[in-house]
Amino acid sequence: MSLTVRGSCLAIFLLLISINVHAYDVPGCASSIGELRTLVGDPLFSSRWVEVSMDDGKPMVVSIIERNGKLLLEFIKTGEGMWAVISGVICKSGVDLEARMSKEQIVLGPAANWVVSLAIANGGIFTMRRPLANQLQIETQGWSGRFIPTAIN
């Protein structure tokens, strides 16, 4: 292989790596806890929230976890187990935040009821808004909940 062909192949390879590494570097989107805190304009934005709007006495706990250049939203229903884990980026949409997920980015757990399972099994949008500084409203098709922070970390 000639030196120019090898150099061209190397340049293409480095370009592809650069594109892959920066796949989630979208303006107005966050793929880390730090970026999320910057996006919401709150350096103390909690990564753990507990539901206060449930009517069954079993609050959902939502944890925002950073892993491999993505944010995971982990939904655990108290006393029942995993509801869902979704991965990707969280982006600004007007005054709200949105986590748009494909079906490959959603893992449904045994605690997810059939309505929610049907609604988001093929992907969906989780909208997050802050009606008050110490609250987070999370909504998707077939479900919504109001949360307060449990820990600032």
Alpha-carbon gap, residue 124 to 106, rounded angstroms: 9
Within 10 A of 136 (CB to CB), how many other CB atoms are there? 22
- Asked whether the predicted pLDDT for residue 36 surpasses 70, the reply is yes
Least confident segment among 22-31, 52-61, 73-82: 22-31
**Element containing residue 44 per DSSP (H, E):** none
13 vs 71, residue with greater confidence: 71
Alpha-carbon gap, residue 117 to 113, rounded angstroms: 6
- How many helices and strands in the chain, by DSSP H and E? 3, 11
**Element containing residue 129 per DSSP (H, E):** strand 123-129
**Every domain of the chain and the residues it spans:** 27-151
Q: Using 50, 70 and 90 to split pLDDT, how confident is the model at 19?
A: very low
Q: For residue 127, give the nearest of 101, 105, 98 by alpha carbon.
A: 98
pTM exceeds 0.75 for this model: yes
**Element containing residue 122 per DSSP (H, E):** none
Q: Using 50, 70 and 90 to split pLDDT, how confident is the model at 112?
A: confident
Q: Which tokens hold the place of 135?
A: 């609250």
Contact predicate 86/106, CB 8 Å: yes
Counting residues of the chain whose pLDDT is more than 90, the rounded percentage is: 59
**What is each CA distance from 99 to 7, 16, 58, 84, in whole angstroms?**
40, 26, 24, 13
For 120-128, what is the mean pLDDT? 89
Q: Which fold has domain 27-151?
A: Lipocalin (2.40.128)
Alpha-carbon gap, residue 42 to 103, rounded angstroms: 30
Q: 148 has which bridge partners? A: 50
- Asked whether the predicted pLDDT for residue 152 surpasses 80, the reply is no
Q: Using 50, 70 and 90 to split pLDDT, how confident is the model at 88?
A: confident
- Asked whether the predicted pLDDT for residue 97 surpasses 90, the reply is yes
